[in-house]
Structure 1
């Protein structure tokens, strides 16, 4: 990974620690108190051994040291438990904060942006990558402070007793962070590649799972199993590379710590044997000094070893942060408005007071763009008057969906797109969308009950009102025949209902919204001829006085439309009534109706 990128990601990670609240500081405080308890514990233990062995004191004379030692054991256990609890809470709050930021960003960016990646890739970002930030805040950041404070505290206690032992500790201490840095140089890049492989595997598996019927019908199931196996093997290889780095780091840190402690032990052993006579301040080396330093030596290296053990958490967090930062810093300039919730200044503007009880739409030299700036539609100019029913038709790829997405506020545009004379960009999206009813050809139902899905936009609906809406959507028989009625379960991906039933449930949900504009995208695409006629009759009754824009491929049902917009290759080629367009035999619409060109 590029050093400048790694540095910027580290700075971003540190900038998020305010979300941990006071728990991060409390974790550090408990670690510092544990460090003081370590010193006191070593002092009591060394005093007891020196008193019993060298000074031949009775155990009763050292009873207060025994009591203190037992108390310190209990205190350290309580401090360690408390630190684990508050550290976990700090990480939990951080993960909750980041997940909320990611979800809010995805809501702001809209469905067009989300469809640019497989659902599995988004699941990997929201769950796996956010989860891997936990240890950076719960363990690594607090340990960085403790790795500096506790060794310095121990050195401050050792140097007054024996300067040679202090120098040994001071000289060997940098070996641990040095190797930690050397190992960590490639760890962040390995983690980043690991997350990329995981996102690819998740998206690959989700796509194949959703298309299993298609794969079986085309006899490609076995071939796709091989591709999933290949993606899984790639992910396994990268995961093992990350684990190898983590285990290698831990093993080498343990080795250096053991060697350093051994050097201290050799120094004191030869000093007691009389072969070494330096390091003390003229009074010789007592058993207390040797025991105190040797007891403190493992504790001196332990914070550094813990930091090394948690260093992979930093590398893991940096690898996870790259895609999170890319997402969170994605500009929202392509939205019709920068926020789905208007700010206070916007609330005071005349545009917020616009009356959307009835809606007229005027487009002048309108151009619609993709997220990367490619022109998808335009320039086009048209008008939709209040209460008009307008059909948008044309060959596939003509720009029909792009026009709808611009109206819904999901794609950027240039030129003018006015709602009741006010530019769409100046109208708060929440206000505009509250007056829209949307029905797509592939309706999205959510896990829950039939009642929940119909009352999605208006949770205050009574059961009687919901039944009335379902009856208008020609779904009353389904409710009556189902033994759970409105509590009929709807599983993920609309499992439990047919495609036609899902379309009708979505239609009832659209009816439930007090909308001024109905936007319909192939509303009867999944229905048989008889059901189609019933649904269209219900729609026409519900929206008789409403403005309606319908995208459709069924040209034989457009005779009642007030106006038809014919798109081709991103341009508006014709506009007029059904009779006017059919009469123009040289026009695109007449050729589409005659079947001379594919819709």
Structure 2
């Protein structure tokens, strides 16, 4: 989905209507100045012609009332626009977060976590100035200068002509500058997301970088990325300063032309330009007071042009997070309450075919398999044969292009995925452990008592892993299982899977890979204890584990 495809007007009609209303309120605030200028010019003219000071009281009160009205309109416009813009940004963030779980962990096109964090946390905020400043400024620019031009035209066609000549130059030059501003903002946002993704990924792999002596090289790469971001940011700022200089120049020239004509006309040097008679001090001052307000919406619009470029770049980043995944996951509806005791599930794969997006050949083609309830089956085959892909297809983490997965005779689809997954226990090849306590990593937000946790640890032969750590279950684990060996991390993950009492199907992906003989034996024993009375489908290269299965299927 491109930024152009993500139409805010159609996706958020109510919020965009409120932003337009904010622009109308700001335009009304600008038009109030016409009344203030008329009162002020009339008061000054009266004082210049010898009118008593008491005559200025009522105009002064009128100016004060109009000033309060103008302040109220501005406050209402800013509040209405900000709330609508905040609602749009919040809904876009929520939609992106809701879409992220649809990306399968096996999807190679899944957005990098660092880029996702940058878009959601930083770049999305760039939408706020675009929505609250640029959109209302565009509407105000279409209304206020037009009305003021007509008012000035009623006084003097020369002054109106001066404004009309100077006014179009600002949007023209802003459009030319805006093309470069948009490109610069796109490059800045891309560089920001790339640097954040690079930093987060390297922090995760810091141990590997240390082991290979690549910390200094990585620091140099990060420094180079930061320098590129600095250059892109300075390029954006240079364009912003250039646009400010251009708009101030033409606005000043426009006001100067009006002021020069009015001054020379009042001095009798230019006895033309008014309708029917010469201008008075009141009419001249009135037009002179309106001239800056004529250019103010144009200046605000030009100043917000950079906000537009940054906002559109941020919107493009959010649009990428809202794209449907190339390899989707079956999320399913809310799962019903699971049974209290496990019932072994029947598994049937019929003519399964799957190809990763962009690949030239199928990873799995025409594969069929029937697993009886309570049967233990091992999938053996060389790396790349599709063993892990098959497990992902059974779990609904990938969707087959052809064929069907049936669990207890029910096709696995969007309507049945959640209920089926509630009766599965998953042990991935690289189980992720979060930074926190053993207790939090085992529960994952679920509710279990102390006795149930200890029973799961005992089943997985992981009780000694927790007992050796200070604090026991309250003891800490580093990000990714830092501080645990590979075998210990697998046993903790196995205990986490054992807490699903309703699991009738266990899916284990290479549970003993890269483990020494003792650790592999401990994990295998725990897995078999967990699988007792349940259906087990395991992928493995371990002949010792495969020999303990009821059946071996070679790919």
Normalised by the length of structure 2, the TM-score is: 0.89
d(CA) in 2 for partners of 1:383, 1:564? 12
d(CA) in 2 for partners of 1:18, 1:536? 57
Q: CA deviation at 1:372?
A: 2.8
Name the counterpart of 1:360.
Answer: 346
Q: CA deviation at 1:322?
A: 3.1
Mapped pair 1:404 → 2:396:
no
Q: CA deviation at 1:306?
A: 0.9
For residue 386 of structure 1, give the secondary structure of its aligned residue in structure 2.
coil
Per-residue deviation, residues 72-115 of structure 1 (Å, max 9, x unmatched) = 33443343344333332222211111112212222123222366
d(CA) in 1 for partners of 2:547, 2:208? 36
d(CA) in 2 for partners of 1:276, 1:468? 100
- Relative distance call for 1:114 and 1:297 in structure 2 (3 A) is farther
d(CA) in 2 for partners of 1:365, 1:401? 17
Indicate the structure whose relative CO is greater, using CA pairs within 8 Å and at least 6 residues apart. Answer: 2
d(CA) in 2 for partners of 1:156, 1:383? 82
d(CA) in 2 for partners of 1:48, 1:10? 55
Which of 23, 26, 50 is 1:28 aligned to?
23
Which of 507, 510, 513 is 2:497 aligned to?
510
d(CA) in 2 for partners of 1:98, 1:477? 46
Name the counterpart of 1:193.
Answer: 187
Which of 509, 520, 532 is 2:508 aligned to?
520
Aligned partners of 1:27 and 1:83 also within 8 Å: yes
How does 1:379-390 map onto structure 2 within 5 Å? 379-390=366-377
Name the counterpart of 2:530.
Answer: 542
Per-residue deviation, residues 552-573 of structure 1 (Å, max 9, x unmatched) = 232222222011222xxxxx2x
Name the counterpart of 2:442.
Answer: 454
- Relative distance call for 1:342 and 1:510 in structure 2 (3 A) is closer
Q: CA deviation at 1:174?
A: 1.1
- Relative distance call for 1:72 and 1:267 in structure 2 (3 A) is same
Larger mean CA deviation between 258-267 and 207-216 belongs to: 207-216
Name the counterpart of 1:132.
Answer: 126
Larger mean CA deviation between 410-419 and 110-119 belongs to: 110-119
Q: CA deviation at 1:453?
A: 3.1
Per-residue deviation, residues 318-355 of structure 1 (Å, max 9, x unmatched) = 223334334423356x4365x63389xxx9xxxxxxxx
Name the counterpart of 2:34.
Answer: 39
For residue 133 of structure 1, give the secondary structure of its aligned residue in structure 2.
helix
Aligned partners of 1:336 and 1:406 also within 8 Å: no
- Relative distance call for 1:57 and 1:503 in structure 2 (3 A) is farther
Mapped pair 1:335 → 2:322:
no
Name the counterpart of 2:291.
Answer: 297
Mapped pair 1:172 → 2:158:
no
Name the counterpart of 2:339.
Answer: none
Q: CA deviation at 1:491?
A: 5.8
- Relative distance call for 1:210 and 1:483 in structure 2 (3 A) is closer
Aligned partners of 1:503 and 1:526 also within 8 Å: no
Larger mean CA deviation between 371-380 and 43-52 belongs to: 371-380
Aligned partners of 1:48 and 1:65 also within 8 Å: yes
Aligned partners of 1:95 and 1:133 also within 8 Å: yes
Which of 223, 228, 231 is 1:234 aligned to?
228
- Relative distance call for 1:220 and 1:460 in structure 2 (3 A) is closer
Name the counterpart of 1:150.
Answer: 144
Q: CA deviation at 1:264?
A: 0.6
d(CA) in 1 for partners of 2:20, 2:286? 30
Name the counterpart of 2:219.
Answer: 225
For residue 561 of structure 1, give the secondary structure of its aligned residue in structure 2.
coil
Larger mean CA deviation between 26-35 and 290-299 belongs to: 26-35
Which of 235, 250, 256 is 1:262 aligned to?
256
- Relative distance call for 1:162 and 1:86 in structure 2 (3 A) is same
d(CA) in 1 for partners of 2:483, 2:302? 52
How does 1:192-211 map onto structure 2 within 5 Å? 192-211=186-205
d(CA) in 1 for partners of 2:6, 2:424? 42
- Relative distance call for 1:525 and 1:62 in structure 2 (3 A) is same
Q: How many residue pairs were aligned?
A: 547
Normalised by the length of structure 1, the TM-score is: 0.83
Name the counterpart of 2:550.
Answer: 562
Q: CA deviation at 1:196?
A: 2.4
RMSD: 3.0
Name the counterpart of 2:453.
Answer: 466
Aligned partners of 2:510 and 2:541 also within 8 Å: yes
Mapped pair 1:72 → 2:72:
no
In structure 1, runs of 5+ residues without a counterpart are: 348-355, 567-571, 573-599
d(CA) in 2 for partners of 1:89, 1:494? 42
Aligned partners of 1:342 and 1:428 also within 8 Å: no
Aligned partners of 1:371 and 1:411 also within 8 Å: no
